[in-house]
Amino acid sequence: MIASLRGRVVSSAAGATVLDVGGVGYRLATTTTASRRAAAAGDGEVTLLTHLHVREDALLLFGFASEAERSLFEMLLGVSGVGPKAALAIVSGYEPDQIRRAVQSGDHALFTSINGIGRRTAERVVIDLKDKVGGLTIPAPGGEGPAPAGDDHTAARDALVGLGMSVSEAEAALRPIDDALPVEERVRMALSGAVPAGAGG
């Protein structure tokens, strides 16, 4: 199993990177983040985490910028009907924490906003990964206290979509905004392009 590759960047475009490792050129299907990292290295060296997918007719090598990306990719391969191409599209479409939140809150719209991912596949991803993704604890609805963070996030995003943004644009606008803020405040800040103090660099 090839766990990672460090080599000189021969070429890098959206979705594909070629690394020269000791004189051997490895072509990797890469996530958006991994492609950006390779492109930023110019013709210098870069290290990418990898997953080798074995098929009867091919050996396919996939490259990732982080362990979180690779872990999600491998979990997605375990979902019925999700192949490596769809799994790569999902991991490339959004950050790992956004994907985890969507799974735990049953947010099918985030997945169907990705090219090539239909409603049925989105439903299978949510059902199959619900008990596997970690890093988020979203309370069950119906109790006293504030609404679950995932539900508030979805409500804010849906409001932005209703105002003309695409799902991906709304996700990007909400990403730097504090999840503890009320839905209305998140929407206002996303529309104004404001970033809370301390969230930016």
Q: How far apart are CA 167 and CA 175, in angstroms?
A: 12
> Could you read off the pLDDT of 161-177 as tens digits, one per residue?
888 888 888 888 988 88
Q: Is the pLDDT of residue 59 over 70?
A: yes
Task: Give the model's pLDDT for residue 200.
Answer: 44
User: What's the average model confidence in pLDDT over 93-112?
Assistant: 91
Q: Tell me the residue ranges of DSSP E strands in 76-201.
A: none
pTM: 0.74
Least confident of 63-67, 87-91, 99-103, 129-133: 129-133
Task: Give the model's pLDDT for residue 75.
Answer: 94
Residue 77 shares a structural domain with residue 37: no
Q: Which of 59, 12, 5 is nearest to 33 (CA)?
A: 12
User: What's the average model confidence in pLDDT over 28-34?
Assistant: 96
| Residues spanned by the domain of 58 | 4-64
Task: Give the model's pLDDT for residue 143.
Answer: 40
Q: Cβ atoms within 10 A of the Cβ of 100, count?
A: 21
Task: Give the model's pLDDT for residue 150.
Answer: 60
Residue 81 shares a structural domain with residue 44: no
142 assigned to some structural domain: no
Q: Is the pLDDT of residue 131 over 70?
A: yes
Task: Give the model's pLDDT for residue 7.
Answer: 96
Number of domains in the chain: 3
Task: Give the model's pLDDT for residue 179.
Answer: 83
Residue 123 shares a structural domain with residue 73: yes
Q: Cβ atoms within 10 A of the Cβ of 195, count?
A: 13
Residue 49 shares a structural domain with residue 73: no
User: What's the average model confidence in pLDDT over 191-201?
Assistant: 56
Residue 83 shares a structural domain with residue 113: yes
User: What's the average model confidence in pLDDT over 127-149?
Assistant: 57
197 assigned to some structural domain: no
